[in-house]
Amino acid sequence: MRYVCSLWKSAISSYERLFLRAHRWIVLEEINEFGDCTVHRVFVNLSTGRMVKRRIPLLNDHVYVGSSDGLLILVEKNEPYFVKLWEPFTGYLVQFTAGIIHQQPSHFAVETRGVPRLFHAPGGLRNPRVMCYDVNNGNLEVRFGDMPVERVASMTAYKSDVFVLFHNRQLFKITGDGHEMHGEFILIHEAPALAPSAMTHYLVVSGGGNLLILVIGIAEILIFCVDVELRTAVRIYNIGSQALFLSNTRCISVNAESFPTVRENCVYQACISGYSGPCGTYEFSLMRPRKRKIYHQSFVNDVTYTLGGRPLSMCPVLIHYCLFRNKCRRPLS
């Protein structure tokens, strides 16, 4: 749906615009070919493969740190580092009265039941906190009851709710009325141990209409489909036309039929030092469960390629997106 004039746009409230937005869009590299004062970005739809280049003036003084359910998460480059949610095609904007410092590893997700709420896990080796940013009720810390939780391993939006997976394999759904937010326990994931256990990582991601838990080892990747109602997780060996791209900071699911160079039913893993094995990028096919290195360490370390050296296919571009890092304390360039 597209607004054809300002009168039509004014007929729909800002709140209603949220439900008319485009979903599953991510933002790729920074393009400054039109001058320093104008910032253009390439948008990619993970379902259809469509690419659109748009001018985003907000990125002159904001940093893009991720997207969730079609909403871009932007943080100011200067103090107090206010965070915003922005829908680039309808202009829907939510600004929170909270400053945030984006540090790696850090996790973001957006709940879109009513007015959007932003959830942020600051990261850190011993930091299990999850913060909720709410327009009406300010900033709240999510409570997880008396259950012992470790640091956050991953967080994702699924069917307008937010799910959090901790390193001790506990999965929670965040619920609450805005005045108090708490985690509803879903399950403890009893996955088979992958050797060495110290190098095993866990991720939760929404892909193909399902909530998936990934168990990532050096030589193997296991995928489990979560039934939220039954509170169970069953191992699956086929994700259909989907392909997963993951690193220690981001995980996305794409429709491989819309990206000719991406193989369906595969997992593409970008490893950096100390994360699930030697540096490099690996392809893991669920049909023939083995890892195959497709890019070496030099590509993993070089995450600031220029337009002249742009990769020739979407596969390295999506890998680059998962590896992409930035800090809110400095400009993206």
Distance CA 169, CA 187 (A): 8
pLDDT range class, residue 156, cuts 50, 70, 90: very high
| Ranges of each domain in the chain | 6-323
More confident residue, 130 or 13: 130
More confident residue, 183 or 151: 183
**Amino acid letter at 124?**
G
Residue-wise pLDDT for 160-197, tens only, equals: 899 999 988 899 999 987 678 999 999 998 877 676 66
Sign of CA dihedral 180, 123, 251, 329: positive
Distance CA 228, CA 163 (A): 10
Distance CA 57, CA 70 (A): 18
Mean pLDDT, residues 237-265 taken together: 90
Residue-wise pLDDT for 264-294, tens only, equals: 999 998 876 555 556 778 899 988 877 788 8
Residue-wise pLDDT for 49-70, tens only, equals: 999 888 888 888 888 888 888 8
More confident residue, 191 or 151: 151
- Which positions ≥6 away from 243 have C-beta within 8 Å? 253, 254, 256, 259, 262, 263, 264, 265, 266, 267, 268
Indicate the class that CATH gives domain 6-323: mainly beta
